[in-house]
Chain A
Amino acid sequence: MTSFQSTLGEEEGIAEELAENQRAISIAEFFEKNKHMLGFDSGARGLVTAVKEAVDNALDAAEEAGILPDIYVEIQEEGDYYRLIVEDNGPGLTKESLPKVFGKLLYGSRFHAREQSRGQQGIGISAAVLYSQLTSGKPAKITSRTQGSSEAEYFELIIDTDDNEPEISVEETASWDRPHGTRIELEMEANMRARAQLHDYIKHTAVVNPHARLELKEPSEHFKAERATDELPEETEEIRPHPHGVELGTVMKMLSATDSHSISGFLQEEFTRVGKKTATSVIDEFRDRHFGREMSWETPTADDGDAVAAAIEDATANKGATATADFAETIATTVENRERICHHKLVDIVESAAESAEDEHGTTFGETVRENAVEAAWAELVGDESDESGSTEAESDGDSRIVADLYALADDATSTRKDDAVIHAFAERLAGKFEDAEDLRHRFTHAALRSAVDRAAELTEEYDDAAFGDTARENVVEAVWGVMRTVPDDPPLVRELTEDRDASSQLVDGMRATDIMAPPTRCLSPITDELIEAGLRKEFDADFYAAATRDAGVSGGDPFIVEAGIAYGDDLEAEGSADVLRFANRVPLVYQRGACATTDVVKQIGWRNYGLDQPGGSGVPNGPAVIMVHVASTNVPFTSESKDAVANVPEIEDEIELAIREAARELKSYLNKRRSMEKRRRKQSVLGQILPEMAEKVAEVTDNPEPNIDDAVARIMNNVLVERELEENGDGQSVSIVVENHTSTTESFELTDIVTAEPRELSDGANVVEMDGEWFIKWDGDVSSGEEATLEYEIEADASFDLDVSGVESEKLTVTDQ
């Protein structure tokens, strides 16, 4: 078998030959071959996707201009082809930008914006144009009129797939009856097999865009969705990126583009939620990664402190005995007073001791003196071997101080079952790593510390035959890292960072590691629970609606808000499972239901708890219900470019679940109430039959007139009983209306009695209004359980009455008006 290597060598110029065949692929060309990625994989789906892209664009355009969207979609059969027309009342497009918007892929205003919007990549509508030209060979016909212009612009264009540029075949002015807006006409190979999805798309769009008016006319059906509100969604604001949501490449690009010099300025300037304090925290994290931390050791006790002073005195020459002693003493005492000391702190201490010694004794403590002092003191503090007095003394005690220090840390951090001797051996080895370190200041990055600990642990395992596992190592690393100190070194400047990929990466890591307030949510425009309910109410005939809007959360630096709504009962399909409507940034998601995080969450929820039937206790619940979920984000994580399914991001899934549960709780209490009312109704209907029968029989047996059973029935049904009692009173009659509450709760009632004569001596709390010869007596109030309230008045004997009671559920109300 010939090796490839040898042939390569023999055939000269193959690389050149291959290179000849290699050329750049235009994005348009790429998508021509990968239509499915954008949702144009079949004729049926292509049509839905084209409608979707055009409508999304139209809604965005109108909203951005502060116009209540009014969108008309028409699909015409055209031989083997279909013609799609979408018209909006948006602001229209200028002559210059129009061809690019429709005829160039990846052209758009939104890709770089951190703001909630329907389209993002600038692919959608131009992909539809591309699909149309590929399947029908016809150009897209676009009319647009900007506000105030007398004429509309008319274009016919195709996309040149070689260079991703629009190719305009017709460009003229035209007249159009809309004062402003855009109309696009696309002809494409398609079919109406996805009619249901198309209708769903329009209907669902209407649910989440209650401020929009939508009209769909297709070969066999024609329907409109009217507005439920005249309020436009709140305008969103673009925000700067959040430090938690940017990647290295982006940061490097930002670094080279910024005007800031310092990292701190860069952070505060270019990111949202970063002030001076947060910038400092980020920079500290960066320092830890870039420079490493310095180990801080336990300070010596008073006796050993003398040794520090002595070492400094030894190292300081020609400064006069008093000044030297004072200088050494100051340093030693300051060090002693600290719990731990690291190298840069020691430098600080020596500096200030030198300053004060200079002030006091008038002697110059120059650079060299200071350096010597630091070196001598540090050597004494860490018990360096090279320093004879300290080390011998320490060794005679058995342990050097740093071994003792590390031993204490390791012993605390590891399990109590570890043998003392093993820990001790490990501490000695780890101390060795510090002593052997090139950097005498004992600076280690987290990674370097980890490898030192690993090495010491491995040696311990090898020689002491004891386990020193991952958890133990991690704990030791964290314990030591915890006492290590961030160094005060100045971070590099922005311009230095731009050239340093590693340092930039350390900055990104530092940003991620810092706790930073969640990004502001003014870049998001949730529908709000009220409007979700209104939207559902408008598009679905149900008995019950509930909606919930969660507070904003953050995922990968992008803020997001989840909203959920539930409709239940009445005309909704009772057979089979509930409808799950999924939305992202106000756009309905029609395909790939099973791949969507929303569906997954709906399936995981135990719907039986909320009163819905759920066979097997998991999966989409059964029954006449619609469950809708809206995820709004500056960057909705989709599973693919066709934007059909929300990816399974844990933070978003959690919020989806909470939003659904919030709405479902309302559903539960509604269903519970409904069930108890139904029970009451059933009881009422059975008893309503039995009791009169019984009364009749009793009357028959006892030979009496039939008794009045209303009171008894109200009592049995635990109802509110409203009864009129009349009593002759001279020429007129006294009327009293008694409200008896036999329920177990306080009931509020509103009562209207329409009478044909003027009532007199009306009791307190009631008032009367005359209208066209009829008197409306209004009376309302609360009756607590077991109590009664009475309305009284006098009226002519021949007056007639008409009583109406509201405020009490009809199932709980018995009115007897004689």
Chain B
Amino acid sequence: MSTDTNQEAREQLIDLAAEFYDQFEGGEIPSMTLPTRTKSNIEYDEEKGVWVYGDRTSTRSANSVRGAQKLLKAVYTIEFLADQLEEDRSSTLRELYYLSESWNNDNAQFNDQDESNQLIEDLEIVSEVTREDFHMRPEESGAKVMGPLHIREQTNRGERDIHCQLDVGQGGYQIPNNPDTIEFLDNDADFVLCVETGGMRDRLVENGFDADYDALIVHLGGQPARATRRLIRRLHDELELPVTVFADGDPWSYRIYGSVAYGSIKSAHLSEYLATPEAKYIGIQPADIVEYDLPTDPLSDSDINALESELSDPRFQTDYWEEQIELQLEIGKKAEQQSLAARGLDFVTDTYLPERLEAMGVL
């Protein structure tokens, strides 16, 4: 958290306000142009190996009442962020939402948190400064790491050296909001195993999978937070660890994998920092459902829609995914990670994961 970065981020923001100023002075309609953030406007960046926004843009302009309100809110937010950076403080996205109440201007107040979250993303894109550098953090990071990794974290209370297996409780090491404050000291890990559900993570930890296989077990907790994805990326880049994702066998879990591996649509501008294109999907694969004869639920209508939408999602247009998704649509079934318990509590650690990891060439 150097003052330099703060200063830089602050200047970027003020430049943005200056742009509005110039537009006013020039008799132009103030506006802000952003890449269109939809599935159809992301494309694969060959060079970086991740999915980024395409060329299509949409403009927020003061031409309409809605647009003018958005820009007004943007200016107020810029002022707030600039002040926050100057004072070297931080706040959460939710705090920003509530803070707008104190702006003493009805037109500048956010209607809901989605709006303020989106505005922060807009500012990130336009200013090319990440949210973390604005000192904005999400509410729940929640994700935890367990495994043979020794790190040093910069905290408000000074540096802390932590071993993510020996120095932590059963819950593991909590990933901070800005994982760039972590320094990797040492590790004995062979690979990273990202797990979707808390139940499965607890099962693996209880069964000692991290110790037995030298795995860094990262709990994703549903859609992984940015900090989690950033840490995974760093583990892969800096420690050269293979990354695997272990999730449920349904379309929503494929999206979780997608955001780890390819980046999310909402934060495609940050894919370069957050996505780990080399991440591999362990399962549950539709093929596993057949092979292991897992207990299943039928696909609901929304599952089918989600699968079909994934077929048209550029991130999933690979032979592997097309084959898996089509298979799933054919069998019309989905299975949870924990359905493996039907074969015994140890089945997942003794049989399923070793088999899959071996097949994937990780072990």
Contact = CB atoms under 8 A, between A and B. Distances in A.
Interface of A: 683, 686-687, 689-691, 693-695, 697-702, 704, 707-712, 715-716
B30 interface: yes
Q: Which 5 A-B pairs have the closest CB atoms?
A: A711-B27, A707-B24, A701-B17, A697-B75, A690-B68
Interface string B57-78: 0000011110011011001101
Nearest to B23: A712
A707 B107 CA distance: 20
Given A697-B76, A701-B82, A708-B24, 19 more contacts: A686-B107, A690-B65, A691-B68, A693-B107, A694-B30, A694-B71, A698-B17, A698-B18, A698-B75, A701-B75, A702-B14, A704-B18, A704-B21, A707-B21, A707-B24, A711-B28, A712-B24, A712-B27, A715-B27
Contacts of A700: 79
Nearest to B18: A702
B69 to A, nearest CB: 6
Residue of B21, B29, B72 with most chain A CB atoms under a 10 A cut-off: B21
B25 interface: yes
Given A687-B62, A690-B65, A700-B79, A708 B21 contact: no
A693 B62 contact: no
Given A697-B72, A698-B17, A716 B24 contact: no
A480 B138 CA distance: 96
Given A690-B72, A708-B24, A711-B27, A716 B65 contact: no
Contact of B29 (A689, A690, A712): A712
A665 B78 CA distance: 51
B107 A712 contact: no
Contacts of B79: 697, 700-701
A715 B28 contact: yes
Interface string B69-110: 101100110110010000000000000000000000101100
B20 interface: yes
Contact of B65 (A687, A697, A702, A711): A687
A712 B72 contact: no
Contact of B25 (A687, A697, A707, A715): A707
Contact of A716 (B29, B75, B76): B29
9 contacts: A683-B65, A694-B68, A698-B18, A698-B24, A701-B14, A710-B27, A711-B26, A711-B28, A712-B27
Contacts of A704: 18, 21
Nearest to B72: A694
A689 B14 contact: no
Contacts of A715: 27-29
A138 B346 CA distance: 119
A702 B19 CA distance: 10
Nearest to B13: A701
Given A700-B79, A701-B78, A701-B82, A694 B65 contact: no
A698 B21 CA distance: 6
B158 to A, nearest CB: 34
A694 B20 contact: yes
Contacts of A687: 62, 65, 68
A686 B64 CA distance: 10
A137 B14 CA distance: 96
A711 B105 CA distance: 24
Nearest to A740: B27
Given A701-B82, A702-B14, A702-B18, A694 B25 contact: no
A84 B276 CA distance: 100
A709 B26 CA distance: 9
A708 B62 CA distance: 15
Residue of A691, A699, A702 with most chain B CB atoms under a 10 A cut-off: A702
A686 B108 CA distance: 12
A698 B108 CA distance: 13
